Amino acid sequence: MLLAVLGSSSARVAPTASLLRAASLRCSSFPARGVSSRSPSLAARVARVHARPTAMASASSPDAYGEHSVVAASGGRTPADAALADALVASGARVVLGSKSFTRRAILTSMGIEHDVVVADIDERAIRRDDPEDLVLVLAHAKADAIVRRAETDEATAEAIADAFLVTSDQVVVHDGAIREKPEDAAEARAFIASYGVTPPSTVGAIVVTDVRTGARFAGGDRSTIVFAPVPGETIEHLVREGECMSCAGGLMVEHPKMAPLVKEIQGSMDGLMGLSKTLLGDLLGKALEARREAS
């Protein structure tokens, strides 16, 4: 059985978490509440990602979107990121990201954290909650549950997550009081993106770190808000034509080179807006590392 470990940070939380908190922008939080087979689609299900702490490749054009866009928006690798990555290496702990999100993979890689990727493959729209904080937390737990359950019967998944810290997360956009998930179609994506230049959107995210060795879980959430200038029609069409916005909650791509110049104000953090708060992740992995040390 998986044990939920909740509550505030103790004085003995690993120093990496404190460093990460100090190095990032403001990040509000809310308290936590109570791969199929390796063949034929191994690359799509279980992938080894080698962290590259050095500078990422440049884009071929100023408007091109890629890993470099995520790294630039998140501030690249900070001393706190390096401390966290070093603590993970020193402990021998492995990290598995339970997400196919390109942005989350890019953030982890830019932090210098080597990780595996195992996709949960749950029907997110089958899980509904009215409260956005509750929704993302339930979904992050559901993704962890799905991966852990699959490991009980699937050898490839069991091998991929063995003895690891499994990181699962979810995010929604809240705009004018309504919860927004991934756009259903291009028309909805256009409407979403245009609206962000009228009234500011907020992102609500949750991260769950599961220690697969012990079953202990560490969970928390974050919220950020961003203010844009009016979004030109050409920018909207570029984003929809490119297609990446269809995979993002609310179609929101704050890090995209076409959207970045329109940013007027941020309350929270860019990495939180992009779907993986480095502050929160560092805090939860710090707690997981400390709990594993105490248990050994």
Residue 113: CB atoms within 10 Å: 22
Question: What's the CA gap between 169 and 144, in Å, rounded?
Answer: 9
**Angle at CA of residue 125, ends 119 and 128, nearest 5°:** 120
C-alpha closest to that of 239 among 210, 205, 197, 198: 197
Q: Which CATH number fits domain 3-295: 3.90.950.10, 3.40.50.970, 3.40.50.720, 3.40.50.1220?
A: 3.90.950.10
pLDDT in tens, 221-269: 999 999 999 999 999 999 999 999 999 999 999 999 999 999 999 999 9
Q: What's the confidence (pLDDT) of residue 162? A: 95
Q: What's the confidence (pLDDT) of residue 61? A: 57
pLDDT in tens, 112-124: 999 999 999 888 8
pLDDT in tens, 192-222: 999 999 999 999 999 999 999 999 999 999 9
> Which residues are catalytically annotated?
170
pLDDT in tens, 132-148: 999 999 999 999 999 99
Looking only at the bridges linking them, the beta strands covering 94-97 and 115-118 are: parallel
The mean of the pLDDT values for the chain is 82
Q: Model-level pTM? A: 0.79
The whole-number average pLDDT for the span 30-50 is: 36
Question: Is 55 a residue whose pLDDT tops 60?
Answer: no
Domain ranges of the chain: 3-295
